[in-house]
Every structure is written in C-alpha cells, then in structure tokens.
C-alpha cells in the first residue's frame, strides 16, 4: 500500500520563509494480510504477524520475529501455514531520506530551477509526524540569506524514502503553491492609505482610492482562486497585480 503524501503551506509574516507541513494521513497504516498460499510482492512494505516455517530473511527481513517490518525484495515464494504478513506504510521515524525539489516561476515568467533541498539533513532525523515541518528560506533556495522570497508559483517535488536493508520505497508528491507575500504587503499598504485620501481637500486625486480598491479586489480574487485556478491563470493574475502595484493602473478621471 502506498503513502498518500500531502503538504500544507503558510508564508511567514515577514515574507522570508514558507512553512511546509507534512499532513499525510496514512503513516503507519495497515492494509491487506498475506496468509498461507499467498505470495509477498517485491517493493511492498510488510510487518511479520506470525511465523511458522517461512524464512522471511530470504526476502529482505532482518529476522523472522513477529513485529519485524521490512520491504520485500529477492524472489518471493508462497508462505506456508501459520505464517502471516500484513501490508504497512512507513512511519516518520523510519524515513531515511526526505528531499524537496523547487522550481519557481516569478512575475517575469521565467522558470528557475532552485535545485534540491535535503530536508533530512536540515530538519531530521524524524521521530513523529510533528517533526515533519520545514521552514524554507531564501538561504535554502540558494539565494542571499535573510531576504524576501520571490513572488510566484513554486513547483515542489516532495520525495520521501523508507529503506530497511536493500530495497527502498520512494514516494513522490508534486504540488504547485502560490507565494505572493511581497505583492500582498504592497496591496495592504495601498489599502491603508484610503482614509488619508478621503481626508484630502477638493482636488485630491481620488483615482488613488479606486486603484487601492482595485488592487484589494484583485488580491482577493487571487486568494479565492488559488486552489481551483490553473497555474497559468494564477501567474497571469499575479503579474497583473504586481504591475498595478509597481506602475499604477490606467484609471483616469
């Protein structure tokens, strides 16, 4: 049985890091049993329930004791009477490798491969799922330390490996997230200026109020669409909002 990897994410308030949390729901889960006459399958993780005659070490178990967990390898044969295995998924404590590949497409629409972050080396080893929380900073992405993260779409390959003796089980999750901390702060700053513009004397450029409202509405649209829009739609929306913030709109009076 396979792990169903999932991640949640949140930008830090200072826009200098993304907090990734592994929200996988089936670590240490159990599946189907194999009893007399059944044959183990290579690449599947099992736990020995009982042993009578079968030598599980021939298929990569470290021993034949009930409770021993292993990944099947070698040339499996049908198990005998009194022997039983159960399919399992790995635990966080059994993770031997964890990596994150990152590609970023910013508002310049250029895709940049940021390489691979060794999550195990940076944040492991892990004991429980509560340990699977990763703070991804500019330094880990190969950029100048303690700088703001680039706004854009971040394509992530989250790869978890469980390995006991020889055979590994590798599980991959590919997900794209929207990082927009810089443009969000700039939009909030425009919105905070609305009371100032309302208090201006006659002749005050009220287009600034409309532009702030436009930016706020656009930001809300991006946030509401983040989980349902196509990635090309999201990056286009981000580009438009970034352009309004930096260059102004075409609002005239």
CA 129, 130, 136, 141: dihedral to nearest 10 degrees?
Answer: -30
Q: What is the rounded distance in angstroms from the CA atom of residue 143 to the CA atom of residue 133?
A: 21
Domain limits, CATH 2.60.40, in the chain: 7-26+92-179
Q: What is the rounded distance in angstroms from the CA atom of residue 16 to the CA atom of residue 90?
A: 32
Is-above-0.75 flag for pTM? Answer: yes
Q: How far is CA 7 from CA 122, 157, 226, in A?
A: 18, 11, 15
pLDDT at position 253: 47
Establish whether the linkage from the previous residue to 125 is cis, with ω within 30° of 0: yes
Query: What is 7-26+92-179's CATH number?
Result: 2.60.40
Instruction: Summarize the confidence of residues 222-239 as an average pLDDT.
Output: 66
Nearest residue to 197 (alpha-carbon basis) of 187, 212, 185, 182: 212
Span 131-159, pLDDT tens digits: 999 999 999 999 999 999 998 889 999 99
Q: What's the full length of the chain, in residues? A: 253
| pLDDT at 195 exceeding the cut of 90 | no
Span 29-52, pLDDT tens digits: 999 999 999 999 999 999 999 999
């Amino acid at each position: 049985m396979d792990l169903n990897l999932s991640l949640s994410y949140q930008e830090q308030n200072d826009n200098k890091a993304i907090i990734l949390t592994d929200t996988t729901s089936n670590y240490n889960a159990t599946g189907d049993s194999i009893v007399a006459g059944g044959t183990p399958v290579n690449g599947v993780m099992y736990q020995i329930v009982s042993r009578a005659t079968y030598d599980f070490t021939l298929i990569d178990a470290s021993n034949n004791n009930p409770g021993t967990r292993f990944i099947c390898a070698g040339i499996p044969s049908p198990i005998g009477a009194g022997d039983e295995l159960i399919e399992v998924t790995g635990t966080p404590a059994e993770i031997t490798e964890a990596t994150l590949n990152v590609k970023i497409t910013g508002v310049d629409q250029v895709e940049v491969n940021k390489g691979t972050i060794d999550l195990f080396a940076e944040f492991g080893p892990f004991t429980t799922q509560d340990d699977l929380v990763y703070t991804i900073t500019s330094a880990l992405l190969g950029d100048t330390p303690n700088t703001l993260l680039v706004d854009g779409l971040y394509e992530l390959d989250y790869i978890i490996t469980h390995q006991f003796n020889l055979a590994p089980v590798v599980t991959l999750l590919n997900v794209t997230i929207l990082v927009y901390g810089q443009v969000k702060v700039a939009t909030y700053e425009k919105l905070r200026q609305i009371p100032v513009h309302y208090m201006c004397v006659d002749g005050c450029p009220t287009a600034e109020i409309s532009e702030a409202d436009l930016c706020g509405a656009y930001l809300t649209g991006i946030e509401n669409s983040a989980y349902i829009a196509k990635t090309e739609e999201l990056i286009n929306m981000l580009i438009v909002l970034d352009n309004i913030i930096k260059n102004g709109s075409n609002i005239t009076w």
